[in-house]
Amino acid sequence: MFKTFIGPTATEEDLAYLRPETAQAIFAQFKNVLETSRQKVPFGIAQVGKAFRNEVTPRNFTFRSREFEQMELEFFIKPDEAVEAISGKVAGAAEAFGRADLPVGQDAQQRVPTTPQPNWGWETWHKYWVEERVRFYEGIGLSRETLGFHHQTPAELAHYARACTDILFKFPFSKKDENGNVTGDELEGIAARSDFDLSQHARFSGKPMGVFDDELRTAWAKLPKEKQDELWKRYYENRKNYLLKSGVEPEPAQKQATDDANGLAKGQYIPHVIEPSAGVDRLILALIANAYSEVTETDSKGKSETRVILKFHPRVAPIKVGVLPLLKNKSELVKIALAVRDLLRPWMNVFYDDGGSIGRRYARQDEAGTPFCVTIDFDTLGEKPELLDTVTIRYRDDGRQERLKISELLQFLLSKVR
């Protein structure tokens, strides 16, 4: 970690570290958020921000850096024992999704349903979030074929983690495996972290991190005695194992686990978390690598030129639309072009360009990854009366052109860039 000192005297008392991940603030503030936001478990807290790791060896452009931007979601869920007390049975992924061996990252027909159910346990929630995150990447232009998956083996998992799935992107610098396939490099890990994080915060801060769940208390009271005992025992074992693995002595661990299991019977528990944790810089690098393409065009004189097109998904393109008057020195064209720019500008990033031939201006926007160009020409002015107040929309990826009414332009573009 990066070490520094707060205040003018650099004594051990002033020692501070730059945070190596963003997640801990979420856990530390968990109770504050819970109490002020009117949320009930299950719910999530997301955060994006800088993290710093001094031990990292920077490599592959911005893929791995000492200072980087992270985005993390801590999604808090009920422990399986609470789900079972309330719903009678915990739906594992097999039951929830209708097949036992659901592979993540499959095509639409094989996807998990998106409506969470009260009977979902941690396993189902974990698969759900893997799937949701894949959909996020697809939604900004990274198709399934560009992604890979790595399911951490028990040996790779941290002792408190129950599962972790990494989502990979096949970067140009990604290596091949022994079968000659590019598996990719990690964009994000989605971990099922049990109740480890909040338990640790509670243990070391001395502040309780449990929640009270009225639904659980009501349901518990109605359970047959043997079911209560079974769930009590399982929760007790889980809590005791956490405490023992964390270095607590057997006797206090048993006492604490007994208190915790007695709490469960009264509607209290420490939430478990599913944690999708992604690197923003490497995602940006993936978006650029994915968008990069070249076309070679031969002009009428037989001269060929290779130019770059950045095929960003409209949602992530830095410039959404180029607004181009056909000619710079025709004030009627310029006037309408400026009006179109001002119409669109409050809603999206617009680049106004009146310099050079229209072909060169299209090529410039292609290189910047702008998905749409709008050209104001003589038909806009009514040269063909039926085209009055229409503009040309030109698509970056295939060069296709269409006419569109100015009055319909904003809605058309908004529907594409959102």
The binding site for its own copies (CB under 8 A) comprises 2-8, 10, 18, 38, 50, 54-55, 66, 346, 353, 355, 364, 418
Query: Cβ of residue 387: shortest distance to its own copies, in angstroms?
Result: 28
- The Cα–Cα gap between 67 and 54 comes to 8
What is the C-alpha to C-alpha distance for residues 28 and 198, in angstroms, rounded to an integer? 8
Cis ω on the peptide bond leading into residue 154 (within 30° of 0)?
A: no
Q: Name the residue nearer to its own copies (CB basis): 231 or 417.
A: 417
Q: Give the residue with the Cβ less far from its own copies, 208 or 356.
A: 356
Q: In what order do the strands lie in the sheet with 390-395?
A: 350-352, 321-325, 372-376, 390-395, 401-405
CB of 368 to its own copies, least distance (A): 9
Gap between the Cα atoms of 143 and 140, Å rounded: 9
Three-state SS at 50: strand
Ramachandran category for residue 400: left, alpha or beta (phi over 0 → left; psi -120 to 50 → alpha): beta
- Give min distance, CB of 2 to its own copies, in A: 5
Q: Please say whether the beta carbons of 281 and 187 come within 8 A.
A: no
> Among residues 23 and 102, whose Cβ is nearest to its own copies?
23
Q: Identify which of residues 9 and 296 has a Cβ nearer to its own copies in the complex.
A: 9
Between residues 113 and 382, which has the closer beta carbon with respect to its own copies?
113
- CB within 8 A of 378, min separation 6: which ones? 326, 333
Shortest Å distance, C-beta 34 to its own copies: 15
Q: Which of 225, 157, 164 is nearest to 190 (CA)?
A: 164
Give the single-character DSSP code of 311. Answer: -
Q: Give the shortest CB-191-to-its own copies separation in angstroms.
A: 27
Give the shortest CB-8-to-its own copies separation in angstroms: 7
Q: Crossing angle of helices 225-245/250-265, nearest 10°?
A: 140
Provide, rounded to whole angstroms, the least separation between the CB of residue 388 and its own copies.
Answer: 26
Looking at the Cβ atoms of 4 and 205, the one nearer to its own copies is: 4
- Residue 7 or 385: which CB sits closer to its own copies? 7
